[in-house]
Amino acid sequence: MLPNAADLGFFPRLSPSFSRYDPGFLAGTSMASPHVAAVAALLYSQGITNPAAIEAAIKRFARDLGAPGRDDEFGYGLVDARAALRGMGVVR
């Protein structure tokens, strides 16, 4: 049986463990933009390929936070991937 790379000492031997990761609070556009980008990619995969339409969908279905409508603290609110991908029916 051939040794693997870890057995030969090329890599430190690590076992998966959640205790190795500490919860932390991170904020700002660096954290927000990947979430928004992911939702944008999902909308694109649904056939909404117009960038302006993708932006409109993300804003339209965001969960409003803080003052009603857009505000400087929360922007348009919390991105809601499910609502954006589900779109609209006739009444809702």
What residues make contact with another protein under the rule CB under 8 A? 46-48, 50, 52-53, 56-57, 60, 85-92
Shortest separation between residue 79's beta carbon and another protein, angstroms = 15
Q: In whole angstroms, how close is the CB of 40 to another protein at the nearest point?
A: 13
Give the separation between CA 20 and CA 45, rounded to whole angstroms. 35
Q: What's the CA gap between 78 and 12, in Å, rounded? A: 40
Q: How far apart are CA 79 and CA 76, in angstroms?
A: 8
CB of 61 vs another protein, minimal distance in Å: 9
DSSP 23-63: -----SHHHHHHHHHHHHHHHHHTT---HHHHHHHHHHTSB
Q: Is 36 or 85 the residue whose CB approaches another protein more closely?
A: 85
Q: Residue 60 or 76: which CB sits closer to another protein?
A: 60
Shortest spacing between CB 84 and another protein, in angstroms: 8
Q: Which of 6, 51 has the CB closer to another protein?
A: 51
